[in-house]
Chain A
Amino acid sequence: MSTNNRNLSMAEALREALYEEMKENDEVFLMGQDIGTPNGWGGPFTVCRGLVEEFGSERVRNVPISEKAIVGCCVGSAMMGMKPVGEVQYSDFLFTCMDEIVNEAAKMRYMSNGQYKVPMVFRAPTGATTRGAQHAQSPEGMFMHIPGLKVVAPSNAYDGKGLLKAAIRDDSPVLFFEHKLLYGAKNRDESDEIEANTHVPEDDYIVPLGKAKIKKSGNDITMISLLYTVHLALQAANILKDDGIDSEVIDLRSLAPLDEETIMKSVEKTKKVLIIEEDNKTLGWGAEIAALIAENFQNVKIKRVAALDVPIPFAPNLENYVIPNKENILNEVEKIFV
């Protein structure tokens, strides 16, 4: 039964997006590991649970541990008119299929001068969750470097559903990053009271790719964030309010295309910027945004909070030290205001 104010978790919202798009369009189908086993997991984070029972194993395809094959089959079938949605279990595994993403998916349209298009979505759970260095990276920034790829990363269930539907309908290859701590699993200590569950309407809506969202408007400082760090930024903004600092929090939602207009408008107003990203600091997406701002404005203070330039360590206290947290966000804000 529908209610007007139902709340969904990210996993539920993404599942609903897949369900609706598959109902709507026969060309949409899924490929991934552990997604197509009846009564199985529905993928490592349950996003596809129930879909194989609904759509069958032809459209919810279990693939061997063969990431190149998943992306390769996405690229090839998309070029022949299908709308594949593939996935890896962890974004760290994208490195096993980089050629298919960077050299094939991203370039087929351009190299052929527009004869072909590659309308595929590739989903990747990302972010640090005390799993050690090979299941904890946040490589989304790397992909915004590649012309031809779109890069999307929602911070909450509403955006998750709307962005995934928009990505599936898009004609370009879209890399879709989902943060492991935002799926909505209960009782995860690492989630630190963060809540990505939101109201998700039952209407058919999309959230356009390439549009950032101002999560909280303010006049004193612009915080630029993505995925999990959106929630950190909002927590920090709440604390800063007590110090009389009125923060504006931007959720980028897409890294490519990047919504430069929203960023620049905000920076023009506040003249102070804190960029908060979970990837390693060197050449993360924050570096690009800092450079863009520096090119556009002369008297703007820019600081970055990002992961230290080390592989993500396992120990919870070490991991917490390496990635952005409330404390180092507040410290950096203080430095901006001295």
Chain B
Amino acid sequence: MKKSRKLKKERLLDIFRDMYKIRYFEDEVYYMFLEGKLPGTVHQCQGQEAVAVGVCSALRKNDFITSTHRSHGHSLAKGMAVDKAMAELFAKKSGCCGAKGGSMHFADIENGIIPSIAVVGEGLIIGPGLALAYSMKNTDQVAVTFFGDGAVSTGAFHEGINISSLWELPIVFVCENNQYAASTSFDSMSPVENVVDRASAYNIPAFKVNGMDVLEVYEVANKAISKARSTGGPTLIECETFRYKGHSRSDPQQYKDKDEVEFWKERDPIDNYKKLLIKKEIVSEKEIEKIEKEVEELIKDAIKKAEQAEKPSVEEVSNYVY
């Protein structure tokens, strides 16, 4: 366990706690959607937890991220309170955006989360703006832009990475290659085999990592973030991962075959990390169970609070237009 040696037990358990929190949150949300308790739609990230947590574990509170339509995992990993996230999904006033944003626009200025951007690719062009401010103000903050494999084909991908490299901005571009843009496979839409292959066009370093291995993600992200922090400019990281649920609530995923799903589930980021921690005797099964229990209570409590919370008032509907 070479990589984890650098991290103390407490940090290693935090990583487990955060990943489990995202998984349990998303699973509860999934069932509540099926029961019709929540309005709108939802894009879930079960299977991709190691990317969000691996990267955000290497960030500071005042580093800002841009997320996507699939924003729950990134936001929780970056420090958003479960209560605020859950209340937003319930469309309650106490939600992270006062229920003006919703599932696709989670925001939390205290924890470095700009409103997540649900037009695919556009975070790639806003992230450099965050980083430009850090560069001009001479702070040592770093911006991280999360995006999916679908975003790689947008013009924003080109313009965002191009300008970041040109101006050596303190930003890390994190591609969650979960193999599918909605129902369309990455293979069928990309003329190059890997997202990282594109980095040479911008003269920036790029790394492809196993996005199911949280410590590997952390390791690579940590280096890229440190490099950005010392204004060594941007890095592109491609994390190979898999989304267990459909693209959104109405997707039955008939386009995925069983073997493929099995392949990825055997690599489940949480199960495997848990096994590793126990095998290496960093933590006992009992301790893990205790953490799981705490997380489950936290989320159940958030659901209860959200159910009882106030709806936003129509009198406030015009606030903050300008």
Contacts and interface: CB of A to CB of B under 8 A. Distances in A.
Interface string A110-150: 11111110000000000000000000000000000001101
A74 interface: yes
Contact of A80 (B98, B122, B134): B134
A307 B107 CA distance: 43
Interface stretch (B273-281, B284-292, B314-322): B314-322
B83 interface: no
A171 B64 CA distance: 21
A148 B318 CA distance: 10
Contacts of B126: 72, 75-76, 79, 100, 104
A69 B159 contact: yes
Interface in A40-70: 58-59, 63-64, 66, 68-69
B97 interface: yes
Contact of B132 (A71, A73, A108, A113): A73
B130 A116 contact: no
Given A64-B166, A82-B137, A103-B122, A114 B132 contact: no
Contacts of B162: 64, 66, 69
A74 B108 contact: no
Interface in B131-169: 131-134, 136-137, 143, 155-156, 159-160, 162-163, 166
Given A63-B163, A108-B115, A111-B101, A77 B322 contact: no
Which 9 residue pairs are nearest across A and B when measured between Cβ atoms? Answer: A76-B129, A72-B125, A80-B133, A113-B98, A112-B107, A114-B320, A77-B133, A69-B163, A73-B129
Interface in A141-162: 147-148, 150
Nearest to B155: A68
A68 B137 contact: no
A68, A81, A100: residue with the most chain B Cβ atoms closer than 10 Å: A68
B128 interface: yes
A140 B247 CA distance: 37
B127 A148 contact: no
Given A69-B160, A77-B136, A112 B125 contact: no
Given A64-B166, A113-B320, 6 more contacts: A69-B128, A69-B159, A76-B132, A82-B132, A112-B105, A116-B109
A35 to B, nearest CB: 15
Contacts of B129: 72-80
B7 interface: no
A111 B105 contact: yes
Interface of A: 29, 58-59, 63-64, 66, 68-69, 71-82, 99-100, 103-104, 107-116, 147-148, 150, 171-172
B133 A76 contact: yes
5 contacts: A59-B136, A68-B125, A72-B129, A79-B114, A148-B322
Contact of B322 (A71, A72, A75, A172): A172
Interface in B72-128: 97-98, 100-101, 105, 107-109, 114-115, 117, 119, 122, 125-128
A218 B98 CA distance: 49
Nearest to B161: A69
A73 B163 CA distance: 9
B114 to A, nearest CB: 6
Chain A CB within 10 Å — which of B105, B115, B160, B162 has the most? B115
Give the interface centre of B127, B132, B319 by most chain A CB atoms within 10 Å.
Answer: B132
Contacts of B127: 76
B266 to A, nearest CB: 39
Given A73-B163, A79-B130, A111 B100 contact: yes
Given A68-B159, A82-B136, A112 B115 contact: yes
Most chain B beta carbons < 10 A, residue from A69, A109, A110: A69
Contacts of A76: 114, 126-133, 143
Contacts of A112: 97, 100-101, 105, 107, 109, 114-115, 320
Contacts of A148: 321-322
